[in-house]
Structure 1
């Protein structure tokens, strides 16, 4: 969605201004903010003055609206943080302070008629306070996050990605409907964005091993026990053989004396 556009009443031949950034835009504190705008005017209009301004989104600023850059067509060169050509202008704010503000662009034509466009710019927030709730009646887990910007949700079960065998994840990733019952094990919701991630885990009852797994464990244990018994039997046989050989050697020695 393009930023809000307000145009002064100026008859059939009216300039229009459009800020091309999404509204609201979210920018990481300390990074660079670049605002782009398109100026559309007919053959009877010319751009006289272009001004970029800013005010707090809450409207409670001590100094009201602040002029960030201004430039007159055909006049002195524009300031370094601004560009202007026949139908486009940009404003660079570097670094972005992280203060949620309304940026405005006002364009005046040769007759003094003004057209203004607005765009809200807010700080890009990290992920906060992830939690997982459950509706036992429908075997559904719901993940929530406080106010992070553009959160991305994903689910893990016992540290592995959830598959369709276990359940179905909603389009927005917030809800997991478990179809493999009974509900058991550890369900972890991971929420991430450009600034990192956070997670929360719901701990259900421990999952029982499948029958085939239990049978495999029993077989392995029996094989190991059999190997131990065989090893002990071999060791006893070997010791008896050594003692018998020693006895025969002692007998022969006595006969020769």
Structure 2
């Protein structure tokens, strides 16, 4: 007879939610399950003390949990344990032990830990490799993503590594704000590396266009003033001509 816990370990549980562990029991045709016991002990410590969580004795295999929030059951070649309202104190090494009708036992173990939020995100630069590295303290299942000037990383800016922790910067020179965002099921945190300000694209062209517009405006105004002066002079000459003819 053998028993195997089906959950991938370590199992991470969000505080307040439920923990469910499942195990498969493999037995021969002449073997019978007599007792199934679920236990827990601390993950670390010199002499960890084991605590019994649930026991399923006898042929009926009716399970009894040691606390109201603990339930266990045994089905066809399978057993499960459920803990409602998981807290940090429920973490540790869980063990399921199956005893057959001869008294022989077999045990499987699984590590259960609390699901941690993201903490202490930081960004450092590796100048020699033109890359930025994002770090995070101890969050569970962290997911990394990068922004440049609050926009997703474009190919002209750089390339993000497969695990998301490193940004290889290809733009020259390196400029602007690079933000690393780290998230998981409990939220996110971020950190920003600030390089020299980027020059605005097309800044020289814009200045040239403004100067040209001002020159055209000034030239048009000057042409208008000259035209107006010339017209005034012509009107003055026409007024003096009849007077000269009468004399």
TM-score, length-normalised on structure 2? Answer: 0.80
* Larger-Rg structure: 2
- Count how many residue pairs are aligned between Structure 1 and Structure 2: 217
CA contact (8 A) 1:30 1:98 kept: no
Alignment CA distance shift 1:227-1:29 (3 Å): farther
Aligned alpha-carbon RMSD (Å): 2.5
Tell me how far 1:28 sits from its aligned partner.
Answer: 0.7
Q: Deviations over 1:43-74 (max 9, x none)?
A: 02111100000111113688x21111001242
**Which of residues 21, 30, 40 is equivalent to 2:7?**
21
**Which of residues 99, 102, 107 is equivalent to 2:98?**
107
Partner SS, residue 64 of structure 2: coil
**Which of residues 49, 59, 77 is equivalent to 1:74?**
59
- Runs of 4+ in structure 1 off by over 3 angstroms are 59-62, 220-231
User: In structure 1, what is the Cα distance between the partners aligned to 2:56 and 2:26?
Assistant: 17
CA contact (8 A) 2:35 2:99 kept: yes
User: 1:91 — aligned with what?
Assistant: 81
**Which of residues 204, 213, 217 is equivalent to 2:195?**
204
CA contact (8 A) 1:156 1:189 kept: yes
Is 1:152 aligned to 2:143, yes or no?
yes
User: 1:255 — aligned with what?
Assistant: none
User: In structure 2, what is the Cα distance between the partners aligned to 1:169 and 1:48?
Assistant: 55
Q: Deviations over 1:187-241 (max 9, x none)?
A: 000000000000000000000123x34313542576589789999xx9xxxxxxx
CA contact (8 A) 2:62 2:73 kept: no
5 Å matches for 1:1-257? 15-59=1-45, 64-75=49-60, 77-79=62-64, 81-99=71-89, 100-210=91-201, 212-216=202-206, 218-219=208-209, 223=213
TM-score, length-normalised on structure 1? Answer: 0.77
User: In structure 2, what is the Cα distance between the partners aligned to 1:65 and 1:74?
Assistant: 25
User: 1:4 — aligned with what?
Assistant: none
Structure 1: runs of 5+ lacking an equivalent = 1-14, 235-257
User: In structure 2, what is the Cα distance between the partners aligned to 1:225 and 1:21?
Assistant: 76
User: In structure 2, what is the Cα distance between the partners aligned to 1:228 and 1:95?
Assistant: 78
User: In structure 2, what is the Cα distance between the partners aligned to 1:109 and 1:225?
Assistant: 99
Structure 2: runs of 5+ lacking an equivalent = 66-70, 225-247
Partner SS, residue 171 of structure 2: coil
